[in-house]
Amino acid sequence: MNLENSLEIKHQALIDLQEYFIKHLEHALLPWWQQALDQIQQTPDIHKVMQLSSQCKRYFNDDPTLSLYNNLVWSPLRLARLLLLTQALIQQPVDTQQTFLHQAFAWVDDQEKISILKVINWLDNSGCCLDLVQQAGRTSNSQLFAAIALNNAYPMHHYTERAFHQLILKALSMSLEIQHMVGLAEHRGPVLNQLALELLEEQLAADRAISDDLIHLVAFSLLTSAQRKYLEDLCLQRRLAPIWQDHLVKVRGSERLIVS
CA pseudo-torsion sign 123, 125, 126, 129: positive
170 binds another protein (CB under 8 A): yes
Shortest distance, position 52 Cβ to another protein, whole Å: 25
CA distance 170 to 98: 27
- Binding residue (CB under 8 A) for another protein from 140, 225, 237, 260: 140
- The H-assigned helical ranges of the chain are 11-23, 30-42, 46-59, 76-90, 97-107, 110-118, 120-123, 130-136, 142-149, 154-158, 161-173, 184-187, 190-205, 225-236, 242-259
207 binds another protein (CB under 8 A): yes
Angle between helices 142-149 and 110-118 (to 10 degrees): 10
Shortest distance, position 137 Cβ to another protein, whole Å: 9
Question: Between 54 and 135, whose beta carbon lies closer to another protein?
Answer: 135
Question: Between 119 and 196, whose beta carbon lies closer to another protein?
Answer: 196
CA distance 185 to 221: 13
Using an 8 Å Cβ cutoff, are 72 and 151 in contact?
A: yes
Q: Which of 189, 112, 120 is nearest to 149 (CA)?
A: 120
227 binds another protein (CB under 8 A): no
- Binding residue (CB under 8 A) for another protein from 38, 161, 201, 233: 201
195 binds another protein (CB under 8 A): yes
CB count within 10 Å of CB 219 equals 15
Question: Between 38 and 131, whose beta carbon lies closer to another protein?
Answer: 131
> DSSP character for 256?
H
Stretch that binds another protein, among 26-34, 89-97, 205-213, 226-234 (CB under 8 A): 205-213
Sites for another protein among residues 99-138 (CB under 8 A): 106, 134-135, 138
169 binds another protein (CB under 8 A): yes
- Binding residue (CB under 8 A) for another protein from 3, 206, 209, 258: 206
Question: Between 43 and 194, whose beta carbon lies closer to another protein?
Answer: 194
163 binds another protein (CB under 8 A): yes
205 binds another protein (CB under 8 A): yes
Q: If binding means CB under 8 A, how many residues of this protein chain bind another protein? A: 20
Show the site string, 69-98: x = touches another protein by CB under 8 A, - = not.
Answer: ------------------------------
CA distance 26 to 123: 27
The Cα angle at residue 94 between residues 92 and 99, in degrees rounded to 5: 70
Positions in the binding site for another protein (CB under 8 A): 106, 134-135, 138-140, 162-163, 165-166, 169-170, 173, 195, 198, 201-202, 205-207
